[in-house]
Chain A
């Protein structure tokens, strides 16, 4: 078994603490994605698991072993880098076999494993080329191949798709998902792209400023975010937020000229009201918003509204009737689809 367990892990650079006591459990065979805005500590955390950054305090276990102070090569991990990090003077074959060669495996075994990896990644015809003669997508495949050949307990991916163009990114995303299914090893994947996180992950870890905001399955985070940050980060387009006020269990939203009787008894006073674009409906009879911009993607349109209170809203529209630029409209929503967040702490107020 080779899950990864972090216990109160802390990282400091000098006096500046960047990772604040992370506790996390990644199960064996799980695809876990660290996601968050840049500077949130997700790559640092990954490098700490890899052993490339020293862990200031706390403990990291891979399987049952405590690897906190072990050398990267002794941890049973393989890493795929954003910039591929292929050895430029070696052929694809030598690149992939380097790890095994360093650990003194016999030549025949290395050749067999390289052949196996190249079959999985369809790299057979490139084996004797050097990295300079490969395209970006091929280079990243070699880099993944190098990780596979080592047969690690845990795969670590550090934003592996960020350097690829949009089309290739989608293709490689599918390939990584397929790879996970085929190999079944534990994988930890860092990205700032919430689409990659949503599509690949068994478990998403949302990080901000070195702290875990929420951990859960993609759809759980989407449907049931713990706070405003997670609600805004997961999902595209981002969740809409409007100012509201709770009085006597009823939420008043001035920007919509609407009241939602949610029976909130625990809170009163100002709140932030969150609504997803696909749950909002344009009400042609209303008169609270002006259509500022529309983006038609064919099947759906995104309507950007400017409220009279100055709040901006994005609504997803389907069907034949679509809003047009400059229309005066109102918006409505099913009360069950409304999320409430404390205006100060940004924590979710569950009803």
Chain B
């Protein structure tokens, strides 16, 4: 029976018409599950997965061990005696310079930077994108191009000029200044994101709303935003991870260790040269710092709602 497909395929080559008319089964023979190619594919995937998962495993395991156990050197071995002491210490006792109140201070600093930055940048970028895609004005394309060029200028070039700008504005070293920097740097990519998404919304919807008497803000809040949940979630993820993981701006524009964001503080804890290297505390601190982006990834997956625009126009 398996030969029928082969025969038809051969016939299709020599006699295309008859090949398509023949009603027999066609296409390649189904492969069995343990074929050589399957073993290679899944084998490769397994190795790659292991490659990425192993460091995480080592970190988790190490963070749950006591120092004596770590000194035994079996980094892959599960902990003989599980202890959460390193986590507690990383959170509230680890020292950076003269402060010994752990990562908690950095965490709350980061939260205070993150929340206003994300809200401001998503809010402004969405209005930008809306105006640039639906209310085109003279020079809107030029404006957009300038904004896009901003995305390609290396951060290093702008570091010092921004220091001067912030100093002149009296914001250097403050959390407010850092928030403004994050909002500005998030603008090009997020505006692009929103503009392109809004451009895919049928123009007639916008026109119908205008005939219905809705103005700039009414159309934005009542028509456009309710249809834009997926892109808002994407922008949210990009901004939260980007701002939370930022190190460069945090270390440049914050002048006092009291106000350092979590990433900078983590670096200071891990790279501290005094005393014993507490690997377990370092691992716990690193995991704690990475927790927020991780939670965002896992939680927001469900928010990607598709097909919201289905049924708006013909179909």
Q: Are B210 and A88 in contact (CB under 8 A)?
A: no
Task: Return A258 CB to nearest CB of chain B, in Å.
Answer: 48
Task: Indicate whether B16 reaches chain A with its CB closer than 8 angstroms.
Answer: no
Contact of B207 among A52, A89, A102, A150 (CB under 8 A): A52
Q: Are B314 and A87 in contact (CB under 8 A)?
A: no
Task: Indicate whether A266 reaches chain B with its CB closer than 8 angstroms.
Answer: no
Contact of A73 among B212, B307, B314 (CB under 8 A): B212
Q: Which residue of A lies closest to B208 (CB)?
A: A85
Task: Indicate whether B223 reaches chain A with its CB closer than 8 angstroms.
Answer: yes
Q: Are A130 and B211 in contact (CB under 8 A)?
A: no
In Å, the complex CA distance between A39 and B227 comes to 32
In Å, the complex CA distance between A130 and B207 comes to 20
Are A86 and B312 CB-contacts (below 8 A) given A52-B207, A79-B207, A81-B207? yes
Task: Indicate whether A185 reaches chain B with its CB closer than 8 angstroms.
Answer: no
Q: Are B312 and A88 in contact (CB under 8 A)?
A: yes
Task: Indicate whether B202 reaches chain A with its CB closer than 8 angstroms.
Answer: yes
Are A87 and B312 CB-contacts (below 8 A) given A52-B207, A81-B204, A81-B207? yes
In Å, the complex CA distance between A102 and B216 comes to 12
Task: Indicate whether A98 reaches chain B with its CB closer than 8 angstroms.
Answer: yes
Q: Are A99 and B213 in contact (CB under 8 A)?
A: yes
Task: Indicate whether B214 reaches chain A with its CB closer than 8 angstroms.
Answer: yes
In Å, the complex CA distance between A83 and B208 comes to 11
In Å, the complex CA distance between A9 and B204 comes to 23
Chain A residue contacts of B222, Cβ below 8 A: 98
Contact of A87 among B205, B210, B211, B213 (CB under 8 A): B205
Which residues of A (110-139) have their CB < 8 Å from a CB of B? 130-134, 136, 139
Q: Are B311 and A50 in contact (CB under 8 A)?
A: no
Are A131 and B212 CB-contacts (below 8 A) given A83-B202, A85-B204? no
In Å, the complex CA distance between A47 and B314 comes to 20
Contact of A85 among B214, B218, B226, B312 (CB under 8 A): B312
Q: Which residue of A lies closest to B314 (CB)?
A: A163
Contact of B204 among A73, A83, A99, A103 (CB under 8 A): A83
Chain B residue contacts of A85, Cβ below 8 A: 202, 204-205, 207-208, 312-313
Task: Indicate whether A72 reaches chain B with its CB closer than 8 angstroms.
Answer: yes
Are A73 and B312 CB-contacts (below 8 A) given A83-B202, A85-B202, A88-B227? no
Chain B residue contacts of A150, Cβ below 8 A: 212
Contact of A132 among B213, B218, B223, B310 (CB under 8 A): B310
Which residues of A (10-28) have their CB < 8 Å from a CB of B? none
Chain A residue contacts of B207, Cβ below 8 A: 47, 50, 52, 72, 79, 81, 85
In Å, the complex CA distance between A51 and B212 comes to 12
In Å, the complex CA distance between A71 and B213 comes to 8
Task: Indicate whether B308 reaches chain A with its CB closer than 8 angstroms.
Answer: yes
State the interface size on chain A (CB cutoff 8 A). 33
Chain A residue contacts of B214, Cβ below 8 A: 73, 98, 102
Task: Return A114 CB to nearest CB of chain B, in Å.
Answer: 13
Chain B residue contacts of A88, Cβ below 8 A: 227, 308-312
Contact of B311 among A82, A86, A102 (CB under 8 A): A86
Which residues of B (192-221) have their CB < 8 Å from a CB of A? 202, 204-205, 207-214, 218
Which residues of B (282-315) have their CB < 8 Å from a CB of A? 307-314
Task: Return B177 CB to nearest CB of chain A, in Å.
Answer: 39
Q: Are A78 and B310 in contact (CB under 8 A)?
A: no
Chain B residue contacts of A86, Cβ below 8 A: 208, 311-313
Task: Indicate whether A77 reaches chain B with its CB closer than 8 angstroms.
Answer: yes
Which residues of B (16-64) have their CB < 8 Å from a CB of A? none
Task: Return A112 CB to nearest CB of chain B, in Å.
Answer: 18
Q: Which residue of B lies closest to A150 (CB)?
A: B212
Task: Return B151 CB to nearest CB of chain A, in Å.
Answer: 30
Task: Return A107 CB to nearest CB of chain B, in Å.
Answer: 16
In Å, the complex CA distance between A99 and B219 comes to 11
In Å, the complex CA distance between A159 and B29 comes to 50
Chain A residue contacts of B213, Cβ below 8 A: 72-73, 99, 102-103
Most buried by A among B209, B227, B307, B310: B209
Q: Are A136 and B212 in contact (CB under 8 A)?
A: no
Which residues of A (271-309) have their CB < 8 Å from a CB of B? none
Task: Return B198 CB to nearest CB of chain A, in Å.
Answer: 14
Contact of B314 among A83, A102, A130 (CB under 8 A): A83
Task: Indicate whether A84 reaches chain B with its CB closer than 8 angstroms.
Answer: yes
In Å, the complex CA distance between A78 and B207 comes to 11
Q: Which residue of A lies closest to B204 (CB)?
A: A85
Interface string of A136-169 (1 = CB under 8 A from B): 1001000000100010000000000001000000
Q: Are B314 and A84 in contact (CB under 8 A)?
A: yes
**Nearest 6 pairs between A and B by C-beta?**
A132-B311, A73-B213, A85-B204, A99-B212, A88-B312, A83-B313
A–B complex contacts, Cβ < 8 Å, 9 sampled: A79-B207, A81-B208, A84-B204, A87-B208, A87-B312, A88-B312, A89-B308, A102-B213, A139-B314
List 15 additional contacts besides A88-B310, A139-B311, A146-B208; criterion CB under 8 Å: A50-B207, A72-B210, A72-B211, A79-B211, A82-B204, A83-B314, A85-B208, A87-B312, A89-B226, A98-B209, A98-B214, A99-B212, A99-B213, A102-B212, A130-B311
